[in-house]
Amino acid sequence: MISDRFRLAVAQLNPTVGDVDGNANLVREARVEAAAKGADLVLASELILAGYLPEDLVLKPAFVRRCMDAAHALAKETADGGPGLVIGTPWKGDDGKVYNAALLLDQGEIRAVRYKYDLPNYSVFDEKRVFAAGPLPGPVDFRGVRIGLPICEDIWNDEVCECLEETGAEILLVPNGSPYWQNRAEERLQVVVARVVQTGLPLVYCNQLGGQDELVFDGGSFALQGDRSLAFQMPQFEPALAITDWTRAGETWICENGVTEPLPGLDEANWRACVLGLGDYVNKNGFPGVVLGLSGGIDSAICAAMAVDALGADKVHAIMLPYRYTSEESIEDAAACASALGIRYDTVPIAEPVEGFRNVLSDLFKGTKEDTTEENLQSRTRGVILMAVSNKFGWMVVTTGNKSEMSVGYATLYGDMNGGYNPIKDLYKTQVYHLAAWRNANRPKGLLGPAGEVTPTNIITKVPTAELRENQTDQDSLPPYDVLDDILDCLVEEEMSVGEIEKRGHDRALIHRIEHLLYIAEYKRRQAPPGVKITERNFGKDRRYPITNRFRDRS
């Protein structure tokens, strides 16, 4: 029995939703490594056996049984005298209800089961749909140490930790599935500080890693001592196993040897989130690589760079699809971008299929003026060609529209919106420019792309254009992006009224126009591919507006 010392391994792992056997093997591998380093206990993240978020998979009895069987198998393996395990899994209780549970496995048995008390039901979370809420938990005994096992959201209020402290917990070990968005790490830290102040207990925060559809789990696991000082900090955006030694000092436990990894700044965090989300989406869904249209513009260039950073140059195929309005400058910039990244680059002219569409529609369109209909034929032709390449070779099409365009509908349905995944879906245009310049000057560890200028400077500095008609620029249809993005930030992220936005110095008529475009583009966004969540209000799980909607703010 442990009396005054124990060694804890914190396993920051990258599970795949639904891959119960694979996820259990991740836990096994972490336990083997932890055992070799003398650990007594291994802590893994929330619902590690299921992967997080499992969503309606939890409603399938066969899935829950598979997870429970895997937990029983892992429990039996702890009879070898090695470390115990704290794992998360869906669990069917004796009452027939399914819970989000944390299990303590040791000495060949499931020694304790604790259920999540506070089920989140906001933003990207919808746990009340699939899980029953558990009772307030008490601590569990692990070889003489009384451990509290609050699960993720349980520490975002004061009830659960207060109950654990009052019933004798000595240390709090928290399995988490906390997704990334900007400045999320600081928000987590403040919550943990509040719980440590409240209870006086040290708290270990173990977070999941990896991309899951639109969400990215950034890891960044850490612990605070009972005096609120940082005990250790694990890295963001990479798997890790931290081995920490804890000593009882009077009535509290102190971490003696925690290592502190530096956390990335905002630009690096956003870039690595996009890269991790794209890479895991491609790899976990079994695509051999990706293909994208490389136009010579900023959006496709930054997506190509992210794809190479995520997958390597050999798994990225770029295609230039020029038409009569495509400038020589764009052709040169696209070729320079592909060369800088070291990726395969082909040119497929689209004049023949576009003219074919125009010819077959000529009788139907007779007597009408050319407008965006003819422009969209170009985009849709490009989309068809990219999807054909995808179908033929199995490569996933990377979609390249930014959040500014998705907000106001400046994207063509069944054209440049075609594809499987969009790494910049939640980045505004001004952020895209900023991050492209940042990546040219920085190459964080773990990325597969080259150092140096991966997006040619001319792509960043030239006037943006869709090149769907002669001498076209984005500002023919939209205000300057710094103005547009500020208005969109007010409307989308802050839900501000027109009157409040006007006070920031924006023209009232322009605000009304942008609001109108935002609302009428909802039907397009519903048909867009998934993409990495970066902001607190991404289009999808966070912001759910009706398609049919006559409301307009005239305050």
Is 294 annotated to bind a ligand? Reply is yes
Q: Quick one: which of 476, 482, 484 has its CA closest to 513?
A: 484
d(CA 450, CA 404): 28
Q: Contact 345/294 with Cβ under 8 angstroms?
A: yes
Burial class (CB in 10 A: 0-12, 13-18, 19+), 138: middle
Radius of gyration of the chain (CA): 26
According to DSSP, the β-strands at 230-233 and 41-43 are: unpaired
Check 46, 127, 214, 515 and give the catalytic one: 46
Is 328 annotated to bind a ligand? Reply is no
Is 293 annotated to bind a ligand? Reply is yes
Tokens of residue 409, six digits: 């509908």
Is 178 annotated to bind a ligand? Reply is yes
Is 297 annotated to bind a ligand? Reply is yes
Angle 187-156-215 from CA coordinates, rounded to 5°: 60
Q: Contact 344/317 with Cβ under 8 angstroms?
A: yes
Beta bridge partners of 247: 5, 254
Is 376 annotated to bind a ligand? Reply is yes
Check 67, 152, 161, 490 and give the catalytic one: 152
116 catalytic per annotation: yes
403 catalytic per annotation: no
d(CA 43, CA 131): 22
ω into residue 53 within 30 of 0, thus cis? yes
Is 221 annotated to bind a ligand? Reply is no
The maximal CA–CA distance of the chain, rounded, in angstroms, is: 90
d(CA 366, CA 392): 36
Check 116, 425, 429, 541 and give the catalytic one: 116
Q: Quick one: which of 432, 428, 431 has its CA closest to 492?
A: 428
Q: Contact 209/218 with Cβ under 8 angstroms?
A: yes
Q: Which residue type occupies 308?
A: V
How far from the centroid of its chain's Cα atoms is residue 323's Cα?
35
Q: Contact 85/27 with Cβ under 8 angstroms?
A: yes
Beta bridge partners of 320: 347
332 catalytic per annotation: no
How far from the centroid of its chain's Cα atoms is residue 61's Cα?
28
Is 184 annotated to bind a ligand? Reply is yes
How far from the centroid of its chain's Cα atoms is residue 13's Cα?
15
Is 299 annotated to bind a ligand? Reply is yes
According to DSSP, the β-strands at 203-207 and 209-212 are: unpaired
d(CA 43, CA 46): 10
Angle 66-69-73 from CA coordinates, rounded to 5°: 135
Is 265 annotated to bind a ligand? Reply is no
Q: Which residue type occupies 336?
A: A
Residue entry with tokens 């009535």: 251
* Secondary structure, 3-state, 42-62: EECCCCCCCCCCCHHHHHCHH
Is 379 annotated to bind a ligand? Reply is no
Residues contributing to the annotated binding site for L-glutamine:
122, 178, 184
* Binding region for deamido-NAD(+): 376, 405, 524
Residues belonging to the active site? 46, 116, 152
Binding residues: 122, 178, 184, 293-300, 376, 400, 405, 524
- Binding residues for ATP, as ranges, are 293-300, 400
